[in-house]
Amino acid sequence: YFRALEQRGIHLNEPQIEAVRHGDGPLLVLAGAGSGKTSVLVGRVGYLCAVRQIDPNALLLVTFSKKAADEMKQRVAQLPGMDAQQAKRIKAQTYHSFFLRVIKQNGIDKDILGSGRQEQIAMKKIIKGLGFQDRYQPETILSLLSFYKLQLKNIRELGDAVEKEIKDIFLAYEDWKAQNNYINFDDVLLMAYELLSKQPDVLAALQKQCRYLLVDEFQDTNLVQYKLIQMIAQPQNNLMVVGDDDQTIYSFNGADSDFILAFDRQYPNAETVTLDINYRSTQRIIGLGNAVIHKNKRRKEKTLKATNTSPLVPRYLRPTNSDDEAERLIELISRIVQQKKQSYKDIAVLFRSSANSRAMLEQLALSHIPYMDYGDKETFYDHWVVKPLLAHLRLSLDPQKLEAIDDVLPTLYIPRDKGREFLQNKERIHANDHPFDHLNSFPSLKGFQQKQVTERIALVPTLHKMKPQQAIQKMRQAFYDAYLQANQPSKFSQYKENLLDQLDELESSAARFLTVTEFIHFIDEFKRKREAMMARGAVQNDEDAVSLMTIHKSKGMEFPIVFLIGASEGTIPHHSIFDASKMKDTYPSLSQKQKVEAALEEERRLAYVAITRAKSHLVVSSPKSSQGRETDISRFFSDIFQDKATQNPSPRPVRGGKMETVNAWICTGHDCIVWQRISNHKEAQLDSKPCPICQSPMEKGRKDVLQTSSS
């Protein structure tokens, strides 16, 4: 089998072979990024089927995304003794898709509340129904509810873990779902858990069906997922889990790296295999990854050595802002592709959250570069907090624009259809007036609405006379500020922060233009180009297109060239984590200070995941300003060479130029390099003390590898 694998170009090293050949019983592969964990898992699937003659049907492979599941099946089909037909029979699925089928097969037939937006709308109604609309945001309540449920907490018995009001909202929401026969993604897992706990025959049938379980990305498993897997794996416990505690990035979903770290205690007869050779990235990239993750305290110490000794080093950019960043990277992408060394599909652009990709997406579309956006289908300008503000601007420019009115109505708590019907009638009667001006005679407006409507009618005609950024500021104050500042006794407040980010980003986008007309014209032009591109099909099939995704989505993937954008303080680490009160529930047993530390460690893991996606080229870009605020280089990158604790030389000004920032110090295991950039774009080398991590002498910062796009 292994010889046949080699003939197919798949070479496995000794510990990898050991894991593939593992007999029955539990198996843990705990190893760093790019060390071949997923490869081993795939290899073992082939081995079980081809050598041990296990029926492919008896295998259950759990992956983190549908894309990963599909890729795995494709890879399995290439293995010796396998073909597409056989590979198809293997169950390679996400937790959700697998357990959705399980509950359906057992007669549980419910409608799935699909998109997050659908749930938000429903939750908004519930909160309003209870009269709490000024106190709680639907997004936050939903994430809090999910957090408890995924930890198998009975929300009727939460004690005083949450305020009574919140508990009331939880219960009202659950009741509403039950009455309407709805379930959400969390409920799929919980119902499966209940089903398997209460019906031993159903569990037994499933255990018989899935005799070999293989779980990828195990570090991001949450409690209910782990319990489900454990139940099905019994009694043989043919359970293989692979993962890396340094890559736990879903704590806000209840993922807990303790499960992987304590696996051998949970299963004392488990075989543990560690892999320490990275086959993915160059030594410089791994050196950087090691140096970054090294700073986390709560982790299992691992060493990771790279096999690729290419002298290429990661590159650093310090653009003015995200628009400048996008411009420079587009230039770089065009250059790379023109030189025909690499094609678009070799390039990935990674970012912290979707708001950080606004500029990049715009410029890609405007410069006709094909790209595949793994994020939401909608553009930044269609986001539900952004779109209504733009609708106001459109209405201001063209008071007859009925489509714009459609998006304005919900912000006044008036249903679209009724409002529109009313205004169309008015339009017929008062042909020369502007329809929106008649809105204050809309029937049955409540007192607070009446006031809002009157204010809005006065506001709209003034907007297009302002600078676009000013107009946006004015609207966000009027429409959202009270809502966003609503008392939030919540956990991570992921959503709240994201909404603020969206609004800040909209302001920075608007700040580029002098007039509202120009701003709206630009957005329309961008959307037109984007749609034209989608129509050509270039964006749907990932033939040859640049990939854009959040770091979270990039888990497990690899690309020859990775651009990590927005690597500045406030973005990564995200500013929200410094408010420990918001993380009350994420890390319940920790002190305020410890909570921030724990959250910071998760952010650092996120940086580590991003770095380790790159095979040969990594560009880390840290804009000088983000959403209108000055920002430093992300501490995860600046820390590693400014830290006294590691006796690393601290940056000092170099003769002939004001020092702007130290660029990088990279531990590669030998000949480590330290270099810095000075403001007149010359590079200078720092002194050559031994590397604080590996103690080897440091190489001089070389000019050829030091290019930044401005130098």
Q: Which residues bind ligand ATP (CB under 6 A)?
A: 11-13, 16, 33-39, 244, 247, 279-280, 556, 558
33 binds, among ligand ATP, Mg ion, none (CB under 5 to 8 A by kind): ligand ATP
515 annotated as ligand-binding: no
Please tell me whether residue 224 adopts helix, strand or coil conformation.
helix
**Nearest approach, Cβ of residue 19 and ligand ATP (Å):** 11
159 annotated as ligand-binding: no
Q: Are 325 and 564 in contact (CB under 8 A)?
A: no
* 556 scored as a contact of Mg ion (CB under 5 A): yes
Q: Are 394 and 369 in contact (CB under 8 A)?
A: no
Q: Are 346 and 558 in contact (CB under 8 A)?
A: no
16 binds, among Mg ion, ligand ATP, none (CB under 5 to 8 A by kind): ligand ATP
**Nearest approach, Cβ of residue 574 and Mg ion (Å):** 25
35 binds, among Mg ion, ligand ATP, none (CB under 5 to 8 A by kind): ligand ATP
Q: Are 698 and 688 in contact (CB under 8 A)?
A: yes
C-alpha to C-alpha distance for 612 and 291, rounded to whole angstroms? 12
Binding piece for Mg ion, criterion CB under 5 A, among 416-424, 425-433, 526-534, 551-559: 551-559
Q: Output 33 or 673, the one with its CB closest to ligand ATP.
A: 33
38 annotated as ligand-binding: yes
Residue nearest Mg ion (C-beta atom): 38
Q: Are 328 and 317 in contact (CB under 8 A)?
A: yes
Residue nearest ligand ATP (C-beta atom): 36
C-alpha to C-alpha distance for 60 and 55, rounded to whole angstroms? 11
Q: Output 38 or 663, the one with its CB closest to ligand ATP.
A: 38
Q: Are 70 and 36 in contact (CB under 8 A)?
A: no
Q: Output 616 or 621, the one with its CB closest to ligand ATP.
A: 616
Q: Output 287 or 556, the one with its CB closest to Mg ion.
A: 556
C-alpha to C-alpha distance for 587 and 491, rounded to whole angstroms? 9
* 38 scored as a contact of Mg ion (CB under 5 A): yes
Q: Output 279 or 413, the one with its CB closest to ligand ATP.
A: 279
692 binds, among Mg ion, ligand ATP, none (CB under 5 to 8 A by kind): none
| CB-based burial, 147-179: b 16+ in 10 Å, e otherwise | bbbbeeeebeeeeeebeebbbebbebbbeebee
34 binds, among Mg ion, ligand ATP, none (CB under 5 to 8 A by kind): ligand ATP
Q: Hey, what amino acid is at 250?
A: Y
* 35 scored as a contact of Mg ion (CB under 5 A): no
C-alpha to C-alpha distance for 399 and 552, rounded to whole angstroms? 42
Contacting Mg ion within 290-329 (CB under 5 A) = none
Q: Output 32 or 254, the one with its CB closest to ligand ATP.
A: 32
Structural tokens at position 406: 């459609």
* 419 scored as a contact of Mg ion (CB under 5 A): no
Q: Are 353 and 566 in contact (CB under 8 A)?
A: no
73 annotated as ligand-binding: no
Binding piece for Mg ion, criterion CB under 5 A, among 124-132, 329-337, 556-564, 695-703: 556-564
Binding piece for Mg ion, criterion CB under 5 A, among 35-43, 230-238, 282-290, 312-320: 35-43
**Nearest approach, Cβ of residue 42 and ligand ATP (Å):** 8
**Nearest approach, Cβ of residue 13 and ligand ATP (Å):** 5
**Nearest approach, Cβ of residue 247 and Mg ion (Å):** 9
Q: Are 564 and 350 in contact (CB under 8 A)?
A: yes
Residue 650 DSSP one-character state: P
Q: Output 43 or 56, the one with its CB closest to ligand ATP.
A: 43
Strand spans (E) along 541-655: 546-550, 559-564, 614-621, 625-626, 629-630
C-alpha to C-alpha distance for 242 and 543, rounded to whole angstroms? 30
35 annotated as ligand-binding: yes
251 binds, among ligand ATP, Mg ion, none (CB under 5 to 8 A by kind): none
Specify the pairing of strand 182-183 against strand 305-308: unpaired
227 annotated as ligand-binding: no
**Nearest approach, Cβ of residue 44 and Mg ion (Å):** 13
36 annotated as ligand-binding: yes
343 annotated as ligand-binding: no
* 219 scored as a contact of Mg ion (CB under 5 A): no
**Nearest approach, Cβ of residue 22 and Mg ion (Å):** 18
363 binds, among ligand ATP, Mg ion, none (CB under 5 to 8 A by kind): none
What is the residue whose two structure tokens read 């954008």?
565
Q: Output 452 or 616, the one with its CB closest to ligand ATP.
A: 616
Check whether the bond before 573 is cis (ω within 30° of 0): yes
* Cα-based distances in Å from 20 to 11, 48, 54, 234: 12, 8, 14, 21
Binding piece for Mg ion, criterion CB under 5 A, among 36-44, 135-143, 427-435, 631-639: 36-44
C-alpha to C-alpha distance for 660 and 654, rounded to whole angstroms? 10
Residue 507: which of 462, 473, 465, 463 has the closest Cα? Answer: 473
C-alpha to C-alpha distance for 90 and 151, rounded to whole angstroms? 29
Residue 299: which of 523, 552, 598 has the closest Cα? Answer: 598
Q: Output 238 or 248, the one with its CB closest to ligand ATP.
A: 248
**Nearest approach, Cβ of residue 71 and Mg ion (Å):** 10
C-alpha to C-alpha distance for 73 and 84, rounded to whole angstroms? 8
Contacts to Mg ion by CB under 5 A: 37-38, 556
Residue numbers in the known binding site for ATP are 31-38
Residue numbers in the known binding site are 31-38
